[in-house]
Structures are given as C-alpha cells and as structure tokens.
Amino acid sequence: MHTRMLLAPLLVVGCLALPAAQSPPATLLQPSSVLRQKFEAGLKDIAGRLDGVMSYTVVDLTSGERFTLLEQTVSPTASTIKLAVLYELMRQVDDGRVKLETMLPLDRRHAVGGGAGLEQLGTPILSIRDYATLMAVLSDNTATNVLIDLVGMSSVNDRMRQLGLRSTLLRRRMMDVEAARRGDENVSTAGEIARLLEVFYRGEGLSARGRDEALAILKKDKSSTSPMVKAIPPGVPVANKPGELEGVRVDAGIVFVPNRPYIFSVMTTYLQEDDAGGVAIERASQVAYQYFSRLAAGGQYGRQIGR
C-alpha cells in the first residue's frame, strides 16, 4: 500500500512531464506573414515606380484583411463609374421599376463615340439587359448614356450616398468633355470602388437574382481590354470594370480564386505616359493573384498541394 502511495505522485509528475504535440509558438514569425510582407512591399514598389499617382485597395474576402495606399484619394474613375450605374439599375429592377427584358429603341440623342460602336447602328431596339451588357463588358458609352437617363443620374448618386460612398460621384454623361472641363468629372476613390465591389459580392441591397445577374454581366470576358485580367490565368472568374481617359487608367474587380476570393481596386492618374498606368495595374494584379492563389493552396505552412 505504501508503494502504491509513493508511485501515484510520480506517475502524475511523469504524465505532466511528457511533451504534447503543439503548434509553433504564436510569437514566431510564420511563413504566411513573410509572404504577406513581400506582397505588401511589392505593391508599394509598383506604385512608387510609376510616373504618376497610384492608389489601391486590395481586400481579402476570407479574412477581411486590407492592403491600401492612398485609398481615400479622389481620382477620376473613367469607365469604372459604370459599376455605380449598374448597381442602381439592379436596385430598380429589384424594386419593379425596371425590367431587364424591356425592349428600348435607341434615342439618337444618346449616341456618342467609344465602346462597341452602338452609335453607328442607326436606331436599334435592344433590351435593357443588352444595354447593361454593352455598358459593362464593351464599355459602350452610348449604352451607358441610355441607362443613365433611364435610372437617373441623381438616383445613382443618392444610392452611393446611402451606401456611404460619398466620394463616388456620377457628374456627367459619357464623352461630355465640356462638363469635364468645367470640373464635373466622374470620381471616386480606390477604397470606395472596393467597397462597391464588396456590395456586389455580398449582394447587399440586392435580391439573390439581382446579385447573380450583375455578377454574371461583370464576369464576361474583358481579357483584351482589362490590364488586371491579363495577369490572371484563364479559367479564374473575374467580375470587373476597367476604365481609361487621358492620363488615367483604372481597373477594379472581384477575383474568384477558389477558397480565397479577393477584391482588387487600382486607380492611376497624372500619368506621364498613359500605357504606363495599364502596365502598373497589370503588375499589381499579377502579384495579387500570386499572393492569394498561394494562400488558397498552401494551408497553414505553405505546401502547395496539388499544384
């Protein structure tokens, strides 16, 4: 009996002394943290090398982590403002005020250059869905002007304010150069464009059908016109809208990397050379895709199983 009494404490002590399987201490720098630092440094390096001003917001839709530079800086949106028009259109569809199937003849007063060449087709009769597709995919400015008048410029701006996007302003129709010269430029920030894309992604304020319809339109191929899409492998869905003006290049979208989707919003302005903005956006898109695709495949420690 005495032997048992002596052994019991020893057994307890022995059990306590056995090493347990543990994760590395949280204080140690994990490989994913190093990868994150390199990604952030890569984005800043691209922005720093650009002969112009670059602002960006990248959002990890899994963790909520954000990577930003000058994200509250107001810049021209170029055609990326069409995201705001599309959102208001889908809200009005959900409210029953507009039907995407409605056929609408082109009012020639809306006809302007730029995009798919709709202004050259006389007076075609298209569905509102077709106008929206031409606006979002081929960036047709005539189709955009039709939709701006349909939903109302003030309605677009009111809706953006309701979403908290106070720097996102639709202040002129497409190709209204005189309005732009007066200072009535269409503007936003990288952060607000990213937020609007998150609204689309989560379907905030939209029915499930409205969300799916909008994303289906935005996912249509833009590989020939979008610098961000050029850096992403074919087969990875991207819902985005690029834009360009003199001295301005913009691209923003949702990249549906399996298990690790993210939002990419980059604005460049004051460009010495217009094409440099597109090159910078493409490079930033490349490093973003490389970062998120590796996170998606690498688990906790980075092994790229199945790659």
Domains of the chain are: 29-298 (3.40.710.10)
Return left, alpha or beta for 164; rule: phi > 0 is left, psi -120 to 50 is alpha, else beta: left
> Is pLDDT larger for residue 26 or for residue 137?
137
Tens-place pLDDT, residues 237-282: 999 999 999 999 999 999 999 999 999 999 999 999 999 999 999 9
Q: For position 119, what pLDDT does the model report?
A: 67
Say how many residues make up the chain.
Answer: 307
Task: Name the DSSP class of 169.
Answer: B
Q: Is the pTM of this model over 0.85?
A: yes
Please report, for residues 6, 8, 9, 117, 281, the alpha-carbon distance to residue 1 in angstroms, rounded to integers and kept in the order given: 9, 11, 14, 99, 79
